[in-house]
Amino acid sequence: MNKHDPSAVREAAVFKSNRSQAVRIPKDLAFAADVKRVTIEPTEDGGLVIKPVKDPAQAWRDYLRNGPFLAKDFDPNIPDPPPSDDIAFDD
């Protein structure tokens, strides 16, 4: 790890594991022990972005905590009448 610049680009070994390709992640960049799955997103320049998959319950908590929220110009007083009774789909 570059102690002067922790966000510096790092190199890692790529190797075969059976018939799959694997990357040896340096210890100081390793995911938390509870991470069992990751997403892999290709980039335009041929690279990959690897991110841990969040626990669904935690993902919902983050979503509800961080938004998206209503726009500042949202007007809760916009008329929203109930649907009319003259259209029946079961006829």
Q: Is 37 domain-assigned? A: yes
Q: Is 8 domain-assigned? A: no
- pLDDT at position 16: 96
Q: Is 72 domain-assigned? A: no
Domain extent for 51: 13-66
- In the predicted structure, residue 52 carries a pLDDT above the cut 80: yes
Instruction: List, in order, residues 6 or more apart from 61 with CB less than 8 Å away.
Output: none
- In the predicted structure, residue 77 carries a pLDDT above the cut 60: yes
Residue 3 pLDDT class (50, 70, 90 cuts): low
Backbone φ/ψ region at 49: left (φ over 0), alpha (ψ -120 to 50), beta: beta
Q: Is 71 domain-assigned? A: no
User: How many domains are contained in the chain?
Assistant: 1
Q: What pLDDT digit, counting tens, does each position of 8-32 carry?
A: 888 899 999 999 999 999 988 899 9
Q: Is 24 domain-assigned? A: yes
- pLDDT at position 15: 96
pTM, 2 dp: 0.52
